[in-house]
Amino acid sequence: MLARIPVILNPAARSTQAAAREKALRALTPEPELVLTGGPGEASEIAEKLAREGHPLVVSAGGDGTMNEVLQGICRVNAERPPGEKHTALGVLPMGTMNVFSLELGLPSQDITACWQRISGGRFREVDLWMANQQYFVQLAGVGFDAEIIQETPWERKKRFGPLSYVMSAMQVLTREPPVLSVNVEGRPSLHGSVVLIGAGKYYGGPVPVFPKASNQDGLLDVLVFRGLGGWEFAQMIRAILVDGYEPAEDIDYVQLREFTVTASPEAPLEVDGELAGFGTPVSFKPAPFALQVAV
């Protein structure tokens, strides 16, 4: 008999919605091995334990934050494995406020049963894996503005307002003086601005292709640098997404880089895959020493 695939669920508050998610997961075929977390950070510890036990696939059931916790756990184990030894793969069941990575993978996010059939079907894709200092990420990262929004958005607000909660927090952050951020690349002039957004894939914050040139299999990160923090810069970004790309943008730099460092003055927070990952710079962005296998 084949071993059941472990699925890590973050039930958050034990609400009616959380109970419904648990019930839906237990009804899946083939039946998963459901593991519930008890608090922040525990998904990472559970994923690491499962990977060390030799599970070939560990699945995250939740949003991008839970996904990144699971990612940290399995990557800590994969990093220790010798060349040629099989790595633990990541699976993603989208059941959270934000599910950008599942969208990037083309999974049927609105149909958990169909999504599970894809994940449990034995097909995998190798995607780029990145590091921001010692934190792994696969979809997106940011220093400053977007990390501050995440920092300002408590779980209670997300639970009540969903994605709108981030808009509410953005309004708060926009009232403050932004830091001066610098993107430093060896051998070329630094880029300076108020916002630095980093994409490993096309999508950022939802079903919006903020990085139209991005691919999670090209070995490059797409980097957006807003020279200011106002309506004009955001209008240029929307025009670039909808019309003609970033080349004509006057106050936005759009570059593709493999390795770079971001500094901030004053210091600013960092987020990876929509999860706060630290405070203070410099933050060094570079490829991880191995790729990631993802169930698709």
pLDDT (tens digit, 9 = 90+) per residue, 169-179? 777 777 788 88
Per-residue pLDDT at 248: 67
Confidence of residue 153 (pLDDT cuts 50, 70, 90): confident
Q: Which residues pair with 270 in a beta bridge?
A: 143, 278
Spell out a b/e string for 277-288, using b for 16 or more CB atoms within 10 Å of the CB, else e. Answer: bbeebebebeeb
User: Token pair 């990145």 is at which residue?
Assistant: 130
Beta strands in the chain (DSSP E): 6-9, 33-36, 57-62, 89-94, 124-127, 130-132, 135-137, 140-144, 180-184, 191-193, 195-199, 221-226, 252-257, 260-265, 269-272, 275-279, 283-287, 292-295
Mean pLDDT (the chain) is 90
- pLDDT at residue 239 above 90? no
CA 9 to centroid of chain Cα atoms = 17
pLDDT (tens digit, 9 = 90+) per residue, 205-228? 788 899 999 999 999 999 999 887
- Looking at residues 261-276, what average pLDDT do you find? 94
Write out the two tokens for 125: 């894709």
- pLDDT at residue 234 above 80? no
Size of the chain, expressed as the number of residues it contains:
296
- Looking at residues 51-74, what average pLDDT do you find? 96
In the three-class reduction of DSSP (H, G, I as helix; E, B as strand; rest coil), residue 112 is classed as helix
Domains of the chain: 6-130 (3.40.50.10330), 137-288 (2.60.200.40)
Contacts of 68 (CB under 8 A, 6+ apart): 136, 137, 138, 272, 273, 274, 275
Write the CA distances from 126 to 57, 60, 212, 254, integer angstroms: 13, 17, 20, 25
| Dist CA 179 CA 236 (whole Å) | 21
> What does residue 95 show for φ and ψ, rounded to 5 degrees?
-145, 25
pTM exceeds 0.85 for this model: yes
Contacts of 168 (CB under 8 A, 6+ apart): 153, 157, 161
- Looking at residues 236-264, what average pLDDT do you find? 84
pLDDT (tens digit, 9 = 90+) per residue, 79-130? 999 999 999 999 999 987 789 999 999 999 889 999 999 999 999 999 999 9
> What does residue 285 show for φ and ψ, rounded to 5 degrees?
-105, 130
CB 36 within 8 A of CB 21: no
From 12-16, 56-60, 133-137, the region with the lowest mean pLDDT: 12-16
